[in-house]
Amino acid sequence: MLAGRIAVFAPVEGEYYQINGGCHPSRPATVLEVPVRTDPAAPYAGMPARGSPDYFATPVPVWLGQWAARDRCQSQAQTSKMPFVMTQWTGCASGAGVAGWVFASGGHSWFGYTGVAPGTRMLLDFFRAHALRPAPPAWTAGPAASIPAVGQAQLRVRSLRIFPTPGAEPFDIARGADGDMWFTEFAADKIGRITPAGAITEYPVPTPGVGPFTLAPGPENAMWFTEQDGIVGRVTSAGEVAELALPQAGSNPDGIATGPGHTIWVTETGAGAIAEITTTP
């Protein structure tokens, strides 16, 4: 209902979870999204359904396309390169517009690429160009991608246990060869380990402020993980932590998986590349 009171919705580095039933604005809404491709907290590619089947986040381009459909924009998306990549839809109902300003880097911060003040001025200029206008008569939102409703089937569990990790901001988790569960502590710069009995052990990473992100089991019963600032880490079952700096500047490693033989594969979101790491048997 706020579409009738707010002229422009302009989230910066947001994450767009799909809620059952979808969104049904009462009038065309002008939307501007400002994402960063290397944002570790709000991934540009969204969050997969495997993490939360009922509330998953779509990639930013998909989310913008959904809004263009709701606003009944008539034109195809137009993309142009500036200090950032700008994608916009025009010809929308009631003069509304849908746009995305995609920055290559900057982290999860307020306009880390351009600086706070220039970024704020850019937003203000966009706001001035999109005043609130009357809705067209008998307007209805266009069809956007539907999200399946939750069925009647209920998940049945035997038990549920919660193990608090204050200040850790745990992000990813995977089972190690030792039978323990290993997890990254994004805010605490640590790798955590929890036994089936619930005992937690933490291992600090050597470089502060890198935000351990995703992890996977690797050769020699070690766990491998990605960090910001272009670093891949490894922690052994004995708790020894080591780091490897990737050669490409701004690589921003994201996903990680075990490959055949003694290999670890890493996606480099910032560099637009895949890295293969071969370990010593």
- Structural domains for the chain: 2-128 (no CATH), 170-278 (2.130.10.10)
DSSP line for 133-195: -PPPTT--PPP----PPP-S-----S-------TTT-EEEEEE-TTS-EEEEETTTTEEEEE-
Place of tokens 């959904």: 66
Q: Please return the burial class of 143, using the count of CB atoms within 10 Å of its CB with bins 0-12, 13-18 and 19+.
A: exposed
Q: Please return the burial class of 230, using the count of CB atoms within 10 Å of its CB with bins 0-12, 13-18 and 19+.
A: buried
Q: Which residues contact 248 (CB under 8 A, 6 or more apart)?
A: 230, 268, 271, 273
**pLDDT for the residue 3:** 67
Distance CA 263, CA 257 (A): 9
Of 89, 96, 87, 91, nearest to 131 by C-alpha is 96
Task: Judge whether residue 201 has pLDDT over 90.
Answer: yes
Task: Judge whether residue 150 has pLDDT over 90.
Answer: no
Task: Judge whether residue 45 has pLDDT over 60.
Answer: yes
Instruction: Determine contact, residues 134/94, Cβ cutoff 8 Å.
Output: yes
Of 253, 265, 246, nearest to 228 by C-alpha is 253
Evaluate if pTM is beyond 0.85: no
Task: Judge whether residue 50 has pLDDT over 60.
Answer: no
The two three-digit tokens of residue 239, written as one number: 């708790």
Q: What is the mean pLDDT of residues 67-77?
A: 81
The one-character DSSP state at 3 is G
**In terms of pLDDT, which residue wins out, 67 or 276?**
276
Q: In this predicted structure, which of 45-49, 97-101, 149-153 has the lowest mean pLDDT?
A: 149-153
Task: Judge whether residue 149 has pLDDT over 70.
Answer: no
Sign of CA dihedral 125, 126, 127, 130: positive
Q: Which residues contact 255 (CB under 8 A, 6 or more apart)?
A: 214, 226, 266, 267
Q: In this predicted structure, which of 138-142, 149-153, 154-158, 252-256 has the lowest mean pLDDT?
A: 149-153
Of 33, 208, 193, nearest to 103 by C-alpha is 33
**pLDDT for the residue 20:** 67
